[in-house]
Chain A
Amino acid sequence: MIQELAGITQGVLATFGVQIDDVKFLKEPMHKTSTPLCVIVGIVGKDGERKGVFSFEYQQSFAKNVLQAMLGGYEVDLFSEMGISALLELSNMLGGNMLGVVAPQAVTTPPTAVFGQNMKTLLNVLECYKMVFIMQNSSFSIGISIV
């Protein structure tokens, strides 16, 4: 399944002209983040039994490149309303696309972006599968934890 999700992610990024050089896969005992900037999207089943979290961890250099690609080559301040809205929109899109594979009967919740330079996080107490997408010396990770 994780390979399929990586393929879906690369497909979505490719529609914005973003090409990924490499993908790595990791598994962690709890869902945490390691970058200062991330977007969190919740997963809820229609009957409430399935629930989980998507995390989208952006290295700032990756985020800037993707934003530029999404906004037709225009440079935009990552932390402006437009910049953050675009990242939220992208994360929402990725979550929605992956949901069909991860939990077809579920829906996603509104995305929340978080920035904290030295923050510690605990996004979910469940084990987490992570995909790390590498592009031009910057990276972007997607984490998934679901019951």
Chain B
Amino acid sequence: MDKNTEIQVIQSFIRSMCNVFSTLTEKKLVPRGVEQSDTLVVKVSGVVVIVSFSGLFSGRLLVSMPKELTGIIYKGLGGENPSDDDLLLAANEFGNMVAGNAVTEINNIIKGANIRLSPPSSFIGDDLVFFNFKMSAHNILLDAENLTIRLNVALREEK
């Protein structure tokens, strides 16, 4: 996958994260920077949502955030006093919107991309570990309300 396309894709995911988060919560999400990850192992605690996709290239979006931040998103979606099951639903919805918005932009700017999404899957726990293989990954940390969201995007070209 050529570097320029990869950068465009990552930037779309970052923009989408920031826009979706601020639309739902009316709070600003600030990216710290992008780093290429040399490992496809992601270790996190809290709430995680993954959305996989396929098309001209395929991959996986992973968003990891503390429960408190997911609670803020849940409130933005119109709920109060969330249980863990509610946080899972909120994370699913959030992941769906972030991926959907990003992929809409990607499909519009990269000719023939035709990226389609699988349903979001969410997880809550301590010491969660996610593994992928044969892909290149990028880590982005974003800050809001003194809390941090981690965005990890793994990509590979489809033949």
Distance of B55 from chain A, by nearest CB (Å)? 8
- Are B89 and A120 closer than 8 Å at their CB atoms? no
Residues of B within 8 A of A84 (CB): 131, 133
User: Contacts A110-B135, A112-B131; is A120 near B123 (CB within 8 Å)?
Assistant: yes
User: Contacts A51-B118, A88-B133, A110-B156; is A116 near B127 (CB within 8 Å)?
Assistant: yes
User: Number of B residues contacting the other chain (C-beta, 8 Å)?
Assistant: 35
User: Number of A residues contacting the other chain (C-beta, 8 Å)?
Assistant: 37
- Are A121 and B127 closer than 8 Å at their CB atoms? no
- Are A107 and B131 closer than 8 Å at their CB atoms? no
Residues of A within 8 A of B51 (CB): 42
Distance of B44 from chain A, by nearest CB (Å)? 10
Inter-chain contact total with CB atoms closer than 8 Å = 118
Roughly how many angstroms separate A40 CA and B85 CA in the complex, as a whole number? Answer: 19
User: Contacts A121-B123, A122-B88; is A112 near B50 (CB within 8 Å)?
Assistant: yes
Roughly how many angstroms separate A44 CA and B116 CA in the complex, as a whole number? Answer: 6
**Interface members, chain A 59-91 (any B CB < 8 Å):** 84-85, 88
Distance of A34 from chain B, by nearest CB (Å)? 13
B40-81 to A contact mask, C-beta < 8 Å, 1/0: 000000000011111000111000000000000000000000
Q: Does A14 contact B (CB under 8 A)?
A: no
By Cβ-Cβ distance, the 10 closest A-B pairs, closest first, are A42-B118, A119-B125, A109-B52, A42-B52, A122-B88, A116-B125, A116-B128, A48-B116, A113-B131, A44-B116
